[in-house]
Structures are given as C-alpha cells and as structure tokens.
Amino acid sequence: MPNCNTIAICNQKGGVVKTTTTVNLGVGLAMQGKKVLLVDADPQGDLTTCLGWRDKDSLPIALPDKMLEVMQDKCKEPTKGILHHKEGVDLIPSNSDLFDFEISLVTAMNREAILRNNLNEVKRNYDYIIIDCSPSLGMMTLNALSAADSVIIPVQAHYLPAKCMTQLMRTITKVKKHINPKLSIDGILLTLVDNRTNLAKSTIDAMDDNKKQLLKDLFWEMNEVSSRTESVSETVITETDDGNGNIVQTETTVTRTYLYITVAHKTVDEMASQYGFNQEQKDYLTELLKPENNSLWAAALYGINYSDDQIVTVALTQIGNVGGDPYWSWYGFGSRVEWCACFVSWCANECGYIETGVIPKYAGCVNGVQWFKDRGQWIDGLSDHTGIAQKVENGIVYTVEGNSGDSVRQKQYSVGYYEILGYGVPQY
C-alpha cells in the first residue's frame, strides 16, 4: 500500500497513556477496515503485554531481532515474526533484549535509520504503522521519529508531563531539520483529564506556552540572526545644592553602547521547501509574516506584547512635560521625587486601571515589580526605572517614559537591550 502513514506515539515522560493510545488508535482504524501494524519500540514491552503476549521474552522473533537483521543486511523475510491479533491489528513485539540492542545502536552505522529501513520492507502491506515509543529520548525514540511521517504527543494534564513536552518539541525540531524533513506533529493529546481540578485546567492553558516554545525553536532554526553594536556619547547635566542655597551644575560625558539585533527571514517558499509545508501551511505562514503581525512574533519570541492603546494614548499626550509636577503631586508628594513610576501610575489612573486592579499605584519601581510578580505577570529581572511600552516593531521596543532627563519622552531600544530588565504584563 503506497500511501502507508507511519505515526509515532511519543513522550519521554512515562505514565501518559502512550500504550493505551497506540492500542485504541490502532484497533479503531482496524475497525474502519484499515490494515494496521503496531510496533512496540519500548524495551519494557507494555504494548506486547497489553495485546496478550505476556511471556514476551519467549517469543522467537521480536523487534531487536528484526533491526539486527537490517544492521547485518540479512533482512530476507521482513514479515517473519509479525504477530496477528484477533482485533484485526498486526504487531511487531518487543522484549527485554531491546535494552541491550539500544546501547549497541550508539556505535552503529546509519543508526537513526535502522527502524525506518526495516519498516520500509513491510509498509506496502499496511495503511497505517503506529509506533509505541519508549519513555525516553534515546536511540529507539530517534529511530521512531526518523521512521515516522507524523507524531502524536500524549500529555497527562499534570505539571511534570507538560513540562517534559517542551524538550520533546525541541528534539522533534532537530530531527526534522537533520534526519527526517517530512516529520510533522499531528497534535497534542491530553490524557487523564479531570476538568474538576484547577491543575488540569492550568495544564490545558499551558499548552499555548509550549506552542510558543516550539515557535521559538522553529524561528531560530529557520532564520538568520545578526547583530551590531553602536556607541553614542552624550553630555548629562546634574544639578545639586552646594549647601548654601546655590544650584551647581555638573556636566558628565556618558557613553552608551547599543546592541542592534537583525533577524533575516527566509522567504515563505524557502521555509516551505525546507520543512515540507503544504499550500495551506504556506498561506498561513505568508499571513503570519505580514508586517502588521509583528506583534504576534514579539509576543511569542520575546514575551512582550503591544500595550493597550488607551494608556499609550494618555501617555503620548504628556510628551514634553518637564519636571513631572502633575504626576508626583497627584501621588501626594510635596516636592519633586524620582517620578517615572508616578507618571506610569498617573496614566493608569486616567484610564481607570488602578481602580480596577489592572495596574498598581506605585512610586517605587521595586514595589511595582513585586506587584506584577505576586500575580505571575512579570517577565525577567528587577528594575530601577519604569515606563510604558508603546509597541514592538521590527525588533525595536518603543516606549513612553517619565523622568527621562526630567521630562516625558518617547524612546526606543532594540529587543534584548541590556538596560531592559523586565516587563510587567497587565491583564487589560
């Protein structure tokens, strides 16, 4: 059957119902009249046991035997040893010998392709081949990913299995790039879900974060990143009281070094060719790479988003204000203070965000950071200056800042600039 579809059921975390998924999917397809071969690629042999062959070590031929034949170029009877189950599926069983065989694969020639070469000899007899992978990212799992057309990832609705999925995504990305360009992800299958628990709900919500991580991995694989630095010197005037009621001005030359990062996208056609995208995927990628969607990339790659337009609009009306009196006096100070946080709070208050709890009222940056941290809305480190992120475009963060040279100013920084120490992310 020339259109045989090979699917790997994969997650390096155990106990996520890989084997049960393999059996149910295989039997379900068989009930629809499809010819199905199940492959037990786990040395523990749970799939073999589940299908009724409990004394698996006594089987005359198992997966390690068939893969050894390929390594020794002795695969003369590719269907020999395949077992037939009453539910209409066939099985290449596993046994404990697969533990030792997996170790031997480390030094084998063309080691990632041995299972694929074996299955190529029998796939003409089947509509579907489904591989039950071991709970690891070892050589057998790499062989399974090399042999597969696609992957289904069962994930238990618990924290640790979901956390492990990120590493699997990265492994799949590398396999796709270096070993099996046609490999795709059919989907993430949530298992053992109890919707009554907050943990399950939060795990479901975390799937988006894992998709973002995959997007990051793919992005850096598919695009070229270059950087340059530029040093700019400026004169800073500091005013101090000499103790006699006189204001003394001191001029200091400050040199700032800016890091500019440039990301050069491959064309849609280049990406599609490299990763085997179909026309629908190409159309989606074309849409995603439009300039108006830069904010989506910024959110996924850098963890920051376009700000809410309302607070930005208010902030922009204050450009040019010198001294900050409206902001620190509104806060309740009787004389000038370092007023960058007062400015942000004032703008937030004008929008009604303080009353509704979207943004805190704060005069100290540390207090503002802690407010966002307590709510899980803080990204990165600490800060001693604060402003409002207006937008992110073409790798540049645009801001509106109070107390910037004692005035309200618009500024811009390259994404990843060392002076950007973190982001509070309001839930508008």
Measured CA angle at 237 (ends 233, 240), to 5 deg? 150
User: How does pLDDT run across 236-284, given as a tens digit for each residue?
Assistant: 666 666 667 677 777 777 676 665 556 666 777 887 777 677 777 777 6
Query: Which run of H or E residues covers position 232?
Result: strand 223-241
Give the whole-angstrom CA distance, residue 413 versus residue 423: 14
The predicted pLDDT at position 197 comes to 47
For residue 404, tell me if it sits in a domain: yes
Residue 211 in domain: no
**Total structural domains within the chain:** 2
Half-sphere exposure of 271 (CA within 13 A, CB side): 21
Mean pLDDT of 102-116: 81
Per-residue pLDDT tens for 134-192? 877 788 888 999 999 999 888 765 444 445 566 677 778 788 888 888 888 887 776 65
> What is the model's pLDDT at position 327?
92
| Digit-coded pLDDT (tens) for 60-87 | 888 988 888 888 877 778 888 899 999 8
Residue 331 in contact with residue 347, Cβ under 8 Å? no
Domain annotation covers residue 313: yes
In this structure, the answer to whether residues 51 and 182 fall within a common structural domain is: yes
Q: Is residue 235 part of a domain?
A: no
Domain range for 302 is: 291-428
Identify any residues that bridge with 399 across adjacent strands, giving them in sequence order. 389, 411
CA atoms within 13 A on the CB side of 41: 37
Q: Which of 20-24, 149-153, 155-159, 358-362 has the lowest mean pLDDT?
A: 155-159
**Is residue 84 in a domain?**
yes
User: What are the C-alpha distances in Å from 160 to residues 80, 148, 151, 214, 236?
Assistant: 40, 26, 20, 18, 51
Q: Are 37 and 92 in contact (CB under 8 A)?
A: yes
Phi, psi dihedrals of residue 151, rounded to the nearest 5°:
-130, 140
Work out the average pLDDT over 220-226: 63
329: which 2 tokens?
């006096």
Q: Which two tokens stand for residue 215?
A: 């997007």
Note whether residue 188 is domain-resident.
yes
**Local confidence band at 199 (pLDDT 50, 70, 90 cut-offs):** very low
Strands 150-156, 5-9: pairing kind: parallel
Strand ranges (E), 325-387: 378-380
* 426 within 8 A of 375, measured Cβ to Cβ: no
Does residue 165 share a domain with residue 37?
yes
Task: Quote the CA–CA distance of 208 and 316 in Å, as a whole number.
Answer: 33
CB 265 within 8 A of CB 395: no
Residue 409 lies in a domain: yes
Boundary of a domain, candidates 193, 218, 242: 193
pLDDT bin (cut points 50, 70, 90) of residue 215 is low
At 110, is the pLDDT very low, low, confident or very high (cuts 50, 70, 90)?
confident
pLDDT one-digit tens code per residue, 298-334: 555 544 444 456 788 788 888 888 899 999 999 988 8
pLDDT of residue 161: 45
Distance (Å, whole) CA 168 – CA 137:
8
**299 and 421, same structural domain?**
yes
Of 169, 193, 217, the domain-final residue: 193
| CATH code for the domain in which residue 165 is found | 3.40.50.300
Q: Are residues 189 and 296 in the same domain?
A: no
Q: Give ∠ CA 170-172-176 in degrees, rounded to 5.
A: 120
Res 255: pLDDT: 72
Name the residue with tokens 């489904």: 130
**Lowest pLDDT segment from 6-15, 286-295, 370-379, 394-403:** 286-295
Q: Are residues 17 and 164 in the same domain?
A: yes
Rg of the chain over all Cα atoms, to the nearest angstrom: 29
Report the distance separating Cα 82 and Cα 337, nearest Å: 80
Question: Using an 8 Å Cβ cutoff, are 43 and 102 in contact?
Answer: yes
46 with 173, same domain: the answer is: yes
pLDDT at 304: 45
Q: Is residue 224 part of a domain?
A: no
Q: How large is the average pLDDT for residues 100-107?
A: 78
Residue 422 and residue 298 share a domain: yes
- Select the more confidently predicted residue: 130 or 196: 130
Rounded (5°) CA angle 220-222-225: 50
187 shares its domain with 298: no
